[in-house]
């Protein structure tokens, strides 16, 4: 099945009250152990989720520096990645802080690498795309909706799930700028990286985690990004 980068949205690991979803995390770790293989590398890029938004919300009352606020979100995402590393390996976490460090870990004997954000102005979804590009991996974006919709399904009851969507259509849909801590399925940098390297990308609902397995096996699930 080749190598995979899994973007695990923070919305999957925190509940509506901002508490960690322990059972989900355990189920996700079980999935990783089930699909682990000597012939496959898996990189899990974890979003900041509710923890990042909470820190950024408090700081924003007195801080207008978007780069500083972004850094808080990055640290939260690395803490989330550290939790998963420790659950998976039963060891102190080793979390890369740059693409270069991640690639070195990718070529180590670790079958699964966990990471969070890298730098201000760059979402963890962009980190996922850059990682997939650098390691020639397939990309699975696991979020809390069933795929890409014509509009936000949480706000629009008439939103329609797109089983396939072109990269250029996505560029049109997600063309507005983004602030630190703001959640969107895609940002422009992510889409541009996916487009330039034609990264095999699927967007799925990560709950239950078995949807991720189905995407890895090439089964019909979620939304597939297609290229001209």
Average pLDDT of span 157-176: 89
Give the pLDDT score at 177: 62
| CATH 3.40.1160.10 applies to domain 4-226 | yes
Sheet of 164-166: strand order equals 112-115, 42-46, 4-8, 138-143, 201-205, 223-226, 164-166
Give the pLDDT score at 226: 96
The answer, yes or no, to whether the previous bond of 208 is cis (omega within 30 of 0) is yes
Average pLDDT of span 123-145: 96
Kindly state the percentage of the chain with pLDDT values over 70.
96
More confidently predicted of 182 and 12: 12
Give the pLDDT score at 173: 85
Helix axes 124-135, 188-197, angle to 10 degrees: 10
**6-62 pLDDT, tens per residue?**
999 999 999 999 999 999 999 999 999 999 887 889 999 999 999 999 999 999 999
CA distance 123 to 136: 20
* Domain spans in the chain, listed from the N-terminal domain onward: 4-226
- 56-65 in b/e form (b: 16+ CB < 10 A) is beebbeeeee
Give the pLDDT score at 180: 47
């Amino acid at each position: 099945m080749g190598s995979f980068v899994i973007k695990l949205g923070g919305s999957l690991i925190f509940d509506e009250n901002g508490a960690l979803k322990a059972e989900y995390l355990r189920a996700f770790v079980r999935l990783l152990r089930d699909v682990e293989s000597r012939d496959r590398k898996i990189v899990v890029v974890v979003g900041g989720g509710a923890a990042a938004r909470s820190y950024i919300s408090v700081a924003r009352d007195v801080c207008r520096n978007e780069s500083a606020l972004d850094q808080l979100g990055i640290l939260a995402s690395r803490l989330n990645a550290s939790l998963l590393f420790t659950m998976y390996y039963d060891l102190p976490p080793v979390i890369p802080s740059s693409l270069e460090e991640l690639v070195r870990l990718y070529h180590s004997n670790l079958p699964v690498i966990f990471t969070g954000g890298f730098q201000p102005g760059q979402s963890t979804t962009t980190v996922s795309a850059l990682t997939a590009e650098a390691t020639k991996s397939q990309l699975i974006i696991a979020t809390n909706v069933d795929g890409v919709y014509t509009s936000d399904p949480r706000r629009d009851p008439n939103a329609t799930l797109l089983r396939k969507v072109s990269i250029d259509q996505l560029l049109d849909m997600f063309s507005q700028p983004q602030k630190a801590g703001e959640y969107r399925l895609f940002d422009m940098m992510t889409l541009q990286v996916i487009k330039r390297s034609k990264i095999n990308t699927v967007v799925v609902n990560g709950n239950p985690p078995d949807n991720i397995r189905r995407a890895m096996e090439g089964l019909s699930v979620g939304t597939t990004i297609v290229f001209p």
